[in-house]
Amino acid sequence: MSVTQDSHDSQDSTDKPAVAGAVETSTKLASHLHPAGSFDLADHPVPNGREEVWRFTPLKRLRGLHDGTFTEGGKGSVEIDAPGEVTVERVGRDDPRLGTVYTPNDRVSAQAWQSFEQARVISVPAEAELERPILVNVTGEGTGPDATFHHLLVDVGAHARATVVVRHQGHAVRAGNTEIRVGDGANLTFVSVQDWDDDAVHLAHLHAEVGRDASYRQALVSIGGDLVRISSSVEYAGPGGEAELLGLYFADAGQHLEHRLFVDHNAPKTRSNVDYKGALQGQGAHSVWIGDVLIRQVAEGIETYESNRNLVLTDGCQADSVPNLEIETGEIEGAGHASTTGRFDDQQLFYLQSRGIDADEARRLVVHGFFADIIRRIGVTEIRDELMRTVEGELERSVGTPLASGGAR
Amino acid sequence: MSILEIRDLHVSVDASDRGDEPIPILNGVDLTIKAGQTHAIMGPNGSGKSTLAYSIAGHPKYQVTAGTVTLDGADVLSMSVDERARAGLFLAMQYPVEVPGVSVSNFLRTAKTAIDGQPPKLRTWVKDVNTAMERVKMDTAFSTRSVNEGFSGGEKKRHEIVQLEVLNPKVAILDETDSGLDIDALKVVAGGVNRFREQEDRGVLLITHYTRILRYIKPDFVHVFVGGRIAEEGGPELADRLEAEGYDRYVAAAS
């Protein structure tokens, strides 16, 4: 059986072409949405914006990361604070471990691979049980358009248990790749918070290889920056692995926040659950969520579900949400997806206000309710309060009036 | 003693979404609701009954072009929607709004806190809410569900009555709370309104198309609403006459 589903849910969207390339069916084994990658930049043509993987991204705002016209010399720092049993290294491009998990599969990812000077490698020994998270603080210290490139490898040994929290702050024009290997039976929680200054541009690719019976939980939180585009992909190194990919984003006026998920069920009895929630407010706030799941012929007995929910708080926002399922075997436990875009409109505001709740509190109530469960499920107590405060902070910035949605009768 | 006074109220509805000028709906409404009184407003569809309710509550779609509304002498029309609620007004809506993601229990607690100016006492709060729900035969499991989301029409109306009981305003306006209810649900809802009325110092403005609910909630005054104003006023006997004769007489006179 070969089925591809596509749906497109867009708010205040202008007409967009259908995902023509995504709806054909085929018997080939590889995903036609995600062709094999390449380390060679020349194998990745400069995008023109009409490609399926670039059509939602405003190329003009990439500061030349996509076509080689960027300027080098951006400044920034990376601080890593890890428990004693963890090895943290700074290695050269020739380190043989680099590129063993992930091969760049788009132009900017290949550019980052070609341009980084030194990589960071974080290794958690087998069977280690870390008592506190590994903290990675990335601070952009640039002021202009100069770019930085980075590469990170996180290697978690078999049956180890670890949490990594990456925080991005400051100003940067940054592109990079993160390779994550979760060893057999290991358990890794990987959180990445994008809380950049308003003018930052950040394109990243995270790729995780989930070992046999391993458990991988990832949470991407994108709040700040002019343009943030994160591609996150998962494949399995053996049967029985599970991946939970959670996301939270809050797009303000003029912000472009894009998350592209790809789960490659290339092993039997594997599980994946993708759940992203986003809020949008202000003129020109734009979010993009692409959720691709490929169930290969070999992947019998797998279970997958992906969900994206958007909450539009004001007029002038656009939420694009495209779930895709490519199914090459019917012998599975389950596969499904959901995508919704809800509005906090003036009727809801009136209802809450008519019960004595003022407008700010009403908005807060709705946004809290919307995000509370996803923040709880991220499950890292160290950052739970921080995330709630961050959401609060976004609400403080709130501009614009709730949506008009017709009046009362 | 609370008193809601409506004087010469003129209201237009915003039609700018259709590119039209505002359309006058209310053409001079005079009504005084004193504590302890229940007033029924009856009228045909399109007579402006609901516009009166939403105008008092402050819905932004409606523009007051003339007249005054005061609650215990305070100018209601200068207040925001939430200020009106905190001043003691409550509108039970014909079409309660769904608010996904906000649980009923969180909603009720936030509203109660806003109305009272302080959080309710934890010790008694859950019991109070559960009691209010049980009284209208609403499963307390609704506490954890999103406000009105997926509720049936009857469940939404019961939830409105739960709010009436928990928030306990000075004056309650019930906008066609009876519409779409079967007889059992109607009795349950009427019971909630009657418990509210039994308290001292509470006013009720009951807006309805049908006389049915007036068998369970006895009004002190009945007003016939036609063409955006009150066409006739009387006691409960007026409702009986409307049931027998319908609105045709008034509609014909107004047109």
The beta-carbon neighbor of A358 closest among B54, B82, B146 is B82
Q: What's the one-letter identity of residue B126?
A: V
Helix (H, G, I), strand (E, B) or coil at A143: coil
Taking residues A244-269, report their average pLDDT. 97
Query: Searching chain A, which residue's CA lies closest to the CA of residue B176?
Result: A409
Give pLDDT tens digits for A261-278: 999 999 999 999 999 999
Cβ <8 Å between B61 and A408: yes
Indicate the Cα dihedral angle A90, A94, A96, A102, nearest 10°: 80
Query: Searching chain B, which residue's CA lies closest to the CA of residue A360?
Result: B82
Mutation site, B51, B61, B159, interface A, largest A CB count within 10 A = B61
d(CA B151, CA B136): 14
Give pLDDT tens digits for B119-173: 999 889 999 999 999 999 999 999 999 999 999 999 999 999 999 999 999 999 9
- Closest to B40 in 3D by CA, of B248, B255, B223, B246: B223
User: What is the nearest CA distance from B249 to chain A, expressed in angstroms?
Assistant: 25
* Residue A90, CB-side half-sphere exposure with 13 Å CA sphere: 8
Give pLDDT tens digits for A388-402: 888 888 877 754 445
- Closest to A102 in 3D by CA, of A192, A220, A233: A233
Taking residues A6-30, report their average pLDDT. 39
Q: Establish whether this prediction's ipTM goes over 0.85.
A: yes
The two tokens of residue A293 are 């799941």
Phi-psi region of A225 (alpha: psi -120 to 50; beta: other; left: phi over 0): left
pLDDT for B36 beyond 90: yes
For residue A402, the model assigns a pLDDT of 52
The sign one gets for the Cα dihedral A367, A373, A374, A375 is positive
Burial class (CB in 10 A: 0-12, 13-18, 19+), A365: buried
> Which residues of chain B have a CB within 8 Å of the CB of A370?
100-101
Residue A188 β-bridge partners? A162, A216
For residue A33, the model assigns a pLDDT of 67
> Which residues of chain B have a CB within 8 Å of the CB of A350?
59-60, 81, 97
Report the 10 Å Cβ neighbour count for A196: 24
User: What is the nearest CA distance from A230 to chain B, expressed in angstroms?
Assistant: 27
Q: How confident is the model at residue A32 (pLDDT cuts 50, 70, 90)?
A: low
> Which residues of chain A have a CB within 8 Å of the CB of B103?
369
pLDDT for A169 beyond 70: yes
Report the 10 Å Cβ neighbour count for B134: 12
Cβ <8 Å between A346 and B114: no
The residues near A4 (Cβ < 8 Å, ≥ 6 apart) are: A22, A23, A24, A25, A324, A325, A326, A327
What does chain B look like in DSSP terms, one character per residue? --EEEEEEEEEEE--GGGTPPPEEEEEEEEEEEETT-EEEEE--TTSSHHHHHHHHHT-TTEEEEEEEEEETTEEGGGS-HHHHHHHTEEEE-SSPPPEEEEEHHHHHHHHHHHHHSSPPPHHHHHHHHHHHHHHTT--GGGGGSEETTT--HHHHHHHHHHHHHHH--SEEEEESTTTT--HHHHHHHHHHHHHHHHSTT-EEEEEES-SGGGGTS--SEEEEEETTEEEEEESHHHHHHHHHH-SHHHHHHH-
Mutation site, B71, B94, B97, interface A, largest A CB count within 10 A = B97
Taking residues A175-190, report their average pLDDT. 98
For residue A202, the model assigns a pLDDT of 98
From the CA atom positions of chain B, what is the Rg in Å? 18
Residue B99 or A17, more confident = B99
Chain B contact for A312 (CB, 8 A cutoff)? no
Residues present in chain A in total: 409
Report the 10 Å Cβ neighbour count for A274: 27
Taking residues B168-185, report their average pLDDT. 94
Percent of chain A with pLDDT over 70: 89
pLDDT for A384 beyond 80: yes
For residue A4, the model assigns a pLDDT of 36
The beta-carbon neighbor of B57 closest among A348, A354, A361 is A354
pLDDT for A160 beyond 70: yes
Residues present in chain B in total: 255
How many domains in chain B? 1
> Which residues of chain B have a CB within 8 Å of the CB of A352?
99, 107, 111
Cβ <8 Å between B97 and A351: yes
Q: What is the mean pLDDT of chain B?
A: 94
For residue A30, the model assigns a pLDDT of 58
Q: How confident is the model at residue A14 (pLDDT cuts 50, 70, 90)?
A: very low
The two tokens of residue A166 are 């990456």
User: What is the nearest CA distance from B102 to chain A, expressed in angstroms?
Assistant: 5
For residue A279, the model assigns a pLDDT of 95
Query: Would you say residue A404 lies in a domain?
Result: no
Query: Would you say residue A215 lies in a domain?
Result: yes
> Which residues of chain A have a CB within 8 Å of the CB of B99?
348, 351-352, 366
The beta-carbon neighbor of B102 closest among A354, A366, A406 is A366
Phi-psi region of B143 (alpha: psi -120 to 50; beta: other; left: phi over 0): alpha
Whether A195 and A224 have beta carbons less than 8 Å apart is answered as yes
d(CA A134, CA A122): 9
For residue A373, the model assigns a pLDDT of 83
Taking residues B108-127, report their average pLDDT. 95
The residues near A186 (Cβ < 8 Å, ≥ 6 apart) are: A124, A156, A157, A158, A159, A160, A161, A162, A211, A214, A215
For residue B68, the model assigns a pLDDT of 98
For residue A366, the model assigns a pLDDT of 87
Give pLDDT tens digits for A311-353: 999 889 999 999 999 999 999 999 999 999 988 888 999 999 9
Report the 10 Å Cβ neighbour count for A32: 15
Q: How confident is the model at residue B255 (pLDDT cuts 50, 70, 90)?
A: low
Cβ <8 Å between A354 and B81: yes
- Residue A204 is inside which H or E element, if any? strand A201-210
The beta-carbon neighbor of B99 closest among A348, A361, A406 is A348
For residue B163, the model assigns a pLDDT of 98
- Host domain of residue B72: 3-254
Percent of chain A with pLDDT over 90: 74
CATH number of domain containing B226: 3.40.50.300
Q: How confident is the model at residue A27 (pLDDT cuts 50, 70, 90)?
A: very low
Partner A, chain B 113-132, Cβ-Cβ below 8 Å? 114-115
For residue A10, the model assigns a pLDDT of 39
- Closest to B6 in 3D by CA, of B25, B33, B27: B33
For residue B254, the model assigns a pLDDT of 63
Cβ <8 Å between A365 and B60: no
Taking residues B41-62, report their average pLDDT. 94
How many domains in chain A? 1
- Residue A174 is inside which H or E element, if any? strand A173-182
- Host domain of residue A211: 3-10+17-344
Phi-psi region of B67 (alpha: psi -120 to 50; beta: other; left: phi over 0): left
d(CA A286, CA A227): 10
> Which residues of chain B have a CB within 8 Å of the CB of A408?
50, 54, 59, 61, 93, 95
d(CA B99, CA B109): 15
d(CA A336, CA A339): 11
For residue A16, the model assigns a pLDDT of 34
Q: What is the mean pLDDT of chain A?
A: 89
Cβ <8 Å between B167 and A355: yes
Cβ <8 Å between B81 and A350: yes
Whether B11 and B55 have beta carbons less than 8 Å apart is answered as yes
> Which residues of chain B have a CB within 8 Å of the CB of A369?
100-103, 106, 146
For residue A34, the model assigns a pLDDT of 72
Query: Searching chain B, which residue's CA lies closest to the CA of residue A361?
Result: B110
Query: Searching chain B, which residue's CA lies closest to the CA of residue A342?
Result: B100
Chain A contact for B47 (CB, 8 A cutoff)? no
> Which residues of chain B have a CB within 8 Å of the CB of A404?
17
The b-or-e profile of B160-176 (16+ CB within 10 A means b, else e) is bbbbbbbbbbbbbbbbb
Chain A contact for B106 (CB, 8 A cutoff)? yes
The beta-carbon neighbor of B97 closest among A347, A357, A365 is A347
Distance of CA A163 to the CA centre of its chain: 17
Cβ <8 Å between A365 and B106: yes
Cβ <8 Å between A352 and B107: yes
pLDDT for A20 beyond 50: no
Whether A261 and A28 have beta carbons less than 8 Å apart is answered as no
Q: Phi and psi for B17 in degrees, rounded to 5?
A: -65, -20
Report the 10 Å Cβ neighbour count for B254: 14
For residue A389, the model assigns a pLDDT of 84
pLDDT for B17 beyond 50: yes
CA distances from A408 to B12, B14, B51, B94 (A): 13, 11, 8, 9
Lowest mean pLDDT among A26-40, A287-301, B115-129: A26-40
Give pLDDT tens digits for A201-231: 999 999 999 999 999 999 999 999 999 999 9
Cβ <8 Å between A353 and B97: no
Query: Would you say residue A359 lies in a domain?
Result: no
Partner A, chain B 121-180, Cβ-Cβ below 8 Å? 146-147, 163, 167
